[in-house]
Amino acid sequence: MKSSPITKKIISGKFKNKTLKLPSKTTTRTSKAIVLESFFNTLQFEIIDANFVELFSGSGSVGLEALSRGAKKVIFMEKDHEALKILKENIAQTDPALCEVYSGDTFANITSVVKSLQKRGEDAYFYIDPPFNVREGMEDIYDRTISLIASLPKECVKLIIVEHMSSLEIPKIIGPYSIKKSKKFGNTSLTYLESI
């Protein structure tokens, strides 16, 4: 018997209740509903007509929720093949014209994303949810993510949001950014960084 695919629904906005497929748990982790709810309650009005970049997108559930709630353009970044296929299927259910997908290594592709924002003279919300470092081959993922944050040019950034293991101590200052606030949801935390 084939197991039915894991799914979740868009919580609110113009695509409310659309069912999104999720990749298998082995390749990606899905953001908890409680975490998403809190995040969008915090930024519900700010993301209207804003650009939204979801790094390590997986199924794209965070970016598509942002799109549903009025973001004007969402950029997704994902390297896992299975996750990419699902991400594209999920985007097809919403508004593909407002979505851009960068496939491949997020750490390599971030330069192109930043260049495209700079060319348009625009900024974006960056939602960063790296794979937990307990996964094999991911031991240095948080160090690399912190370097990536430090490299983001201030004029391209409205706000940086990092979803991470609560046990991780995020530096108070990363390059030109400092922690605005941090919120804990059991094993997962959201940390918000803004330019100094």
Residue 106 is assigned to a structural domain of this protein: yes
pLDDT-derived band at 29, boundaries 50, 70, 90: low
Judge whether residue 1 has pLDDT over 50.
no
Residue 14 is assigned to a structural domain of this protein: yes
Kindly give the residue spans of alpha helices, DSSP state H, lying in the chain: 33-43, 61-68, 81-92, 106-120, 141-151
Residue 127 is assigned to a structural domain of this protein: yes
Q: What is the CATH number of the domain that holds 176?
A: 3.40.50.150
Residue 65 is assigned to a structural domain of this protein: yes
The CA-based angle 21-24-29, given to 5 degrees, is 90
pLDDT, averaged across the chain: 92
Number of domains observed in the structure of the chain: 1
Judge whether residue 195 has pLDDT over 70.
yes
Give me the pLDDT at residue 23, please.
83
* DSSP 8-state symbol, 58: T
Domain of residue 191 covers 9-195
| 130-39-114-164 Cα dihedral, nearest 10 degrees | -20
pLDDT-derived band at 2, boundaries 50, 70, 90: very low
Give me the pLDDT at residue 28, please.
60
Cβ-count burial 62-87 (b if 16+ within 10 Å, e if not): bbbbbbbbbbebbbbbbbbeebbebb
Question: Looking at residues 43-63, what average pLDDT do you find?
Answer: 96
pLDDT-derived band at 21, boundaries 50, 70, 90: very high
Which of 52-61, 99-108, 130-139 has the weakest average pLDDT? 130-139
Residue 187 is assigned to a structural domain of this protein: yes
What is the rounded distance in angstroms from the CA atom of residue 53 to the CA atom of residue 139? 24
Residue 1 is assigned to a structural domain of this protein: no
Residue 96 is assigned to a structural domain of this protein: yes
Residue 3 is assigned to a structural domain of this protein: no
